């Protein structure tokens, strides 16, 4: 989490109803363009700031991109050159260090494939402790999210398949600092203006792949990188008993709300976000999904049918 930049959404407006008992709970998709069809705003590679450098067109040219594509600490920028158009209508952007494929829902390449060739990024010298590492991930600010106290459910759905993962250079490999991880992170942010903890947030993680474990363990600790925020990553077994290590499609369909509330309570118990311990102050501020590759791995993951549906009480 060293170089991910969180951009939090604004406040939701909560109205009053004369007879809330007669109004059913409202379900809403929190993600815009969840199939990535409109492409990406490409961010510059230096980490720590959101600097838009170009756009990568998707397969839907009727709207502007709502997803960023971050390539922190990369030597090989994905350039907005004319993409390769594949037989099923997907578009592919690629260079020595990475590849991005955006596919229409009907194509075998649907919806998004992200590949990192860390052998081109690092060469033959494994990174030392403290050195930056390569990221390739998408991120989006959630527009007008409901507060956690309003929610009765927050259902994540995603299908993921690991196409390949190869440790390209074994000499000097240390599992403690050389790895390849594909994860989803949500920021759970204090967005109540005037709150003493306004702007503080929690990293809430959903692991999809880690080369070191078939089913990645949970992780609960302060971010040792730039943000210094608390990280609460679920164990894979909280979500599924299937492993992307098997190179088959793995489906996660899970209500995250109990885990999000548990994450906030755990952070409070550890002395983080203690300026406010009220669920009403917190909202899902942003969504991030993709690769962090501190080791010399060549990797590729395909995802489809990504959804984050929030159900709020009336």
- Structural domain boundaries, residue 136: 26-312
Residue 11 falls within a domain, yes or no?
A: no
Q: What pLDDT does residue 89 have?
A: 96
Residue pair 292/183 in contact by the 8 Å Cβ criterion: yes
pLDDT at 139: 97
pLDDT band at 170; cut points 50, 70, 90: confident
pLDDT for 246 equals 98
Spatial CA neighbour of 41 closest among 13, 14, 17, 5 = 5
Q: What is the pLDDT of residues 98-124, one digit of tens each?
A: 999 999 999 999 999 999 999 999 999
CATH code: domain of residue 297: 2.60.120.260
Residue 16 included in any domain: no
Residues pairing with 134 in the sheet: 293
Residue 296 above 70 pLDDT? yes
- Mean pLDDT of the region 200-205: 98
Whether residue 111 is preceded by a cis peptide bond, meaning omega within 30 degrees of 0, is yes
> For residue 60, is pLDDT > 80?
yes
Identify whether 73 is part of a domain.
yes
Per the prediction, the chain carries an average pLDDT of 91
Classify residue 41: in a domain, yes or no.
yes
Section 295-310 average pLDDT: 97
Tell me the pTM. Answer: 0.91
Report pLDDT for 15. Answer: 31
Contact 302, 163 (CB under 8 A): yes
**Cβ atoms of residues 257 and 151 within 8 Å:** yes
For 118-157, what is each residue's pLDDT tens digit? Answer: 999 999 989 888 889 999 999 999 999 999 999 999 999 9
Q: Is residue 177 part of a domain?
A: yes
Asked, for residue 14, whether it belongs to a domain, the answer is no
**Structure-token match 């403690």, residue found:** 176
In this prediction, residue 182 carries a pLDDT of 98
> What does the alpha-carbon distance between residue 300 and residue 292 come to, in Å, rounded to a whole number?
12
pLDDT in tens, 231-290: 999 999 999 999 999 999 999 999 999 999 999 999 999 999 999 999 999 999 999 999
Residue with tokens 């909280």: 238
Amino acid 80: pLDDT: 67
pLDDT value at residue 118: 96
- 135 close to 4: Cβ distance less than 8 angstroms: yes
- pLDDT-based confidence at 205, cuts 50/70/90? very high
Least confident residue range of 1-15, 46-60, 288-302: 1-15
Q: Is residue 10 part of a domain?
A: no
- Confidence label for 2 from pLDDT (cuts 50, 70 and 90): very low
Residue 19 domain-assigned?
no
pLDDT beyond 70 at 189? yes
Give the pLDDT band (50/70/90) at residue 225: confident
CA angle 34, 2, 270 (to 5 degrees): 95
Please, which residues bridge with residue 202 across strands?
A: 188, 230
Among 240, 313, 284, which Cα is nearest to 7's?
284
Please give the pLDDT value at position 24. 64
Per the CB < 8 A criterion, the answer to whether 312 and 146 are in contact is yes
Question: How many domains does the chain fold into?
Answer: 1
Q: What is the pLDDT of residue 103?
A: 98
- pLDDT band of residue 197 (cuts 50, 70, 90) is very high
């Amino acid at each position: 989490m060293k170089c991910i930049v969180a951009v939090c959404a604004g406040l939701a407006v909560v109205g009053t109803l004369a007879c809330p008992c007669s109004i059913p709970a409202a379900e809403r998709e929190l993600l815009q363009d969840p199939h990535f069809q409109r492409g990406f705003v490409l961010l510059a590679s230096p980490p720590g700031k959101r600097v838009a450098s170009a756009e990568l067109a998707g397969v839907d040219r009727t709207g502007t991109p709502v997803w960023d594509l971050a390539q922190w600490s990369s030597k090989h920028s994905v350039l907005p050159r004319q993409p390769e158009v594949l037989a099923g209508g997907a578009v592919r952007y690629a260079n020595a260090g990475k590849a991005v494929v955006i596919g229409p829902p009907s194509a075998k390449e649907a919806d998004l494939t992200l590949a990192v060739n860390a052998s081109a990024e690092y060469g033959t010298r494994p990174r030392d402790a403290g050195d930056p590492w390569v990221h390739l991930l998408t991120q989006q600010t959630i527009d007008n999210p409901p507060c956690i106290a309003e929610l009765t459910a927050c259902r994540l759905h995603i299908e993921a398949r690991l196409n390949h993962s190869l440790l390209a250079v074994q000499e000097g490999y240390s599992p403690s600092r050389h790895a390849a991880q594909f994860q989803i992170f949500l920021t759970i942010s204090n967005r109540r203006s005037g709150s003493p903890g306004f702007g503080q947030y929690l990293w809430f993680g959903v692991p999809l792949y880690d080369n070191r474990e078939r089913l990645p363990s949970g992780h609960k600790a302060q971010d040792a990188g730039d943000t210094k925020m608390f990280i609460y990553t679920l164990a894979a077994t909280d979500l599924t008993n299937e492993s992307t290590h098997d190179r088959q499609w793995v489906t996660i369909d899970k209500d995250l709300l109990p885990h999000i509330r548990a994450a906030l309570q755990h952070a409070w118990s550890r002395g983080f976000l203690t300026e406010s311990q009220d669920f009403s102050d917190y909202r899902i501020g942003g969504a991030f999904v993709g690769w962090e590759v501190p080791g010399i791995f060549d990797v590729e993951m395909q995802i489809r049918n990504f959804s984050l549906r929030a159900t709020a009480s009336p």
